[in-house]
């Protein structure tokens, strides 16, 4: 007797259709494990291969209702077959198949061990792909965060410069009276000319600075633009706070994605190197000589074109071991650092094991040998 429903069951060896008595009556054997994985991934994503459509279409055209555990598959088939395609998870057929691997194996003329081994390989491949996908997504997020940080920094620098010009017109000499720009911004952002200025607002200043600032404000108390500039200062502080949050987010991401590289280069420089290269794997593939001058491409091309001395370092100059080293040692230190950065990237890309402590010790020994040995 023909069943009213047919249950579609996925197995590592092929697709099976079961009737309502849980008897297998039709199968689609996979040509290979890779082909099977591709077809099943398509089912799960709602991208149905023509071979599968033909396999299922025979029974749908005959009036049977197809029961599937894949929601996207039912959505993909619904426009043509409507209510003949039913989503059910878990389905009766799916539960039966998972509980009876020996019967599935027999249907494909295989042993139960073959089915379980194939299922294990499927699961491992899926897990590997998921790890790669998640890692790639995080790297993309890191690269976008670094680009956003750079854009915010550039905008902040431009806005700060304009703020200095404007505030100087309103309160000549006021910014120079503060020990740092952030203190000045905080004061101006909270400045209310209708209220008396208290020592608390100018905490940390010398008495002479306090008197100087108060005198400047008293001379310019009727300037109409001051409330707008106070809002401007508050906006700059908000942007600075936002940039700091992005920096912390970048630091967290890069330490998760590439712990060895973050430990050797520092989170900030590591993030910039990954962004420049386009990813951890791409950075790992670069020779250390390229890593050494990454970020100095224009200077390198100019040197090649004109025959002048090539640059000794690119953005790795930002590393304390390079920029704090006497000029005569920087080239050698940059070369050693680039070598360790390249090795750290390879460990993160291919081994996934945190060996940063050993790398840092080796780096210190080599840098000390350069800087101390040359002095003897």
For a pLDDT cut of 70, what percent of the chain falls above it? 81
Lowest mean pLDDT among 6-10, 35-39, 123-127, 260-264: 123-127
Confidence band, pLDDT 50/70/90 cuts, at residue 240: very high
Are 261 and 273 in contact by the 8 Å Cβ rule? The answer is: yes
Listed residues 216, 249, 282: the one ending a domain: 249
Q: What is the mean pLDDT of the chain?
A: 79
Domain co-membership, 350 together with 270: yes
Q: Residue 126 domain-assigned?
A: no
Are 322 and 333 in contact by the 8 Å Cβ rule? The answer is: yes
The CATH number for 57's domain is: 3.30.420.220
The CATH number for 369's domain is: 1.10.246.90
Domain co-membership, 317 together with 363: yes
pLDDT computed for residue 194 by the predictor: 41
- pLDDT tens track for 167-219: 888 777 777 777 777 878 887 887 655 445 544 555 545 545 656 666 666 66
> CA-based angle 46:52:55, to the nearest 5?
140
pLDDT computed for residue 99 by the predictor: 83
Lowest mean pLDDT among 22-26, 239-243, 344-348: 22-26
Domain membership of residue 295 as a residue range: 258-373
Query: Total structural domains in the chain?
Result: 3
Lowest mean pLDDT among 8-22, 49-63, 100-114, 193-207: 193-207
Domain co-membership, 208 together with 273: no
Distance CA 216, CA 225 (A): 15
Listed residues 206, 222, 249: the one ending a domain: 249
DSSP sequence for 119-140:
HHHHHHHHHHHHHHHHHHHHHH
Lowest mean pLDDT among 145-149, 159-163, 206-210, 354-358: 206-210
Q: Residue 187 domain-assigned?
A: yes
Distance CA 278, CA 276 (A): 6
Domain co-membership, 54 together with 25: yes
Domain co-membership, 55 together with 157: no
Q: Residue 180 domain-assigned?
A: yes
- pLDDT tens track for 307-342: 777 778 888 898 998 888 888 888 888 899 999 999
Residue with tokens 């650092």: 337
Domain co-membership, 240 together with 265: no
Distance CA 6, CA 361 (A): 64
Domain co-membership, 262 together with 364: yes
Is the pLDDT at 56 greater than 70? The verdict is yes
Q: Residue 115 domain-assigned?
A: no
Mean pLDDT of 85-113: 78
């Amino acid at each position: 007797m023909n069943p009213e429903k047919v249950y579609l069951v996925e197995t590592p060896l092929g697709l099976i259709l079961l009737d309502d008595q849980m008897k297998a009556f039709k199968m689609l054997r996979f040509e290979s494990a890779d082909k099977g994985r591709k077809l099943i991934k398509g089912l799960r994503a709602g991208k149905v291969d023509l071979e599968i459509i033909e396999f299922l279409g025979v029974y749908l055209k005959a009036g049977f209702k197809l029961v599937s555990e894949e929601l996207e598959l039912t959505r993909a088939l619904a426009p043509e077959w409507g209510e003949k395609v039913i989503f059910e998870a878990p389905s009766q057929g799916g539960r039966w198949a998972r509980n009876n691997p020996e019967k599935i194996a027999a249907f494909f003329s295989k042993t139960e061990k073959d089915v379980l081994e194939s299922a294990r390989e499927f699961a491992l491949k899926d897990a590997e792909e998921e790890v790669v996908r998640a890692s790639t997504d995080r790297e993309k997020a890191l690269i976008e965060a670094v680009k956003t940080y750079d854009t915010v920094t550039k905008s902040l620098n431009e806005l700060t410069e304009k703020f200095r010009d404007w505030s100087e017109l309103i309160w000549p000499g006021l910014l120079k009276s503060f020990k740092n720009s952030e203190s000045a911004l905080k004061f101006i952002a909270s400045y209310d000319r209708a209220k008396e200025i208290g020592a608390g607002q100018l905490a940390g200043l010398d008495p002479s600075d306090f008197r100087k600032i108060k005198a400047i404000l008293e001379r310019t108390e009727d300037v109409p633009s001051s409330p707008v500039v106070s809002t401007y200062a508050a906006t700059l502080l908000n942007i600075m706070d936002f940039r700091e949050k992005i920096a912390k987010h970048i630091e967290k991401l890069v330490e998760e994605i590439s712990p060895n590289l973050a430990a050797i280069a520092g989170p900030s420089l590591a993030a910039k190197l990954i962004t420049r290269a386009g990813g951890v794997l791409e950075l790992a593939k670069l020779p250390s000589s390229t890593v050494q001058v990454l970020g100095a491409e224009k200077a390198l091309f100019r040197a090649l074109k004109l025959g002048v001395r090539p640059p000794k370092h690119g953005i790795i100059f930002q590393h304390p071991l390079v920029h704090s080293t006497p000029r005569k040692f920087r080239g050698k230190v940059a070369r050693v650092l680039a070598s360790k950065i390249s090795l750290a990237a390879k460990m993160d890309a291919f081994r996934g094991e945190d060996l940063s402590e050993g790398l840092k010790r080796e780096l210190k020994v080599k840098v000390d040998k350069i800087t101390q040995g040359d002095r003897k």
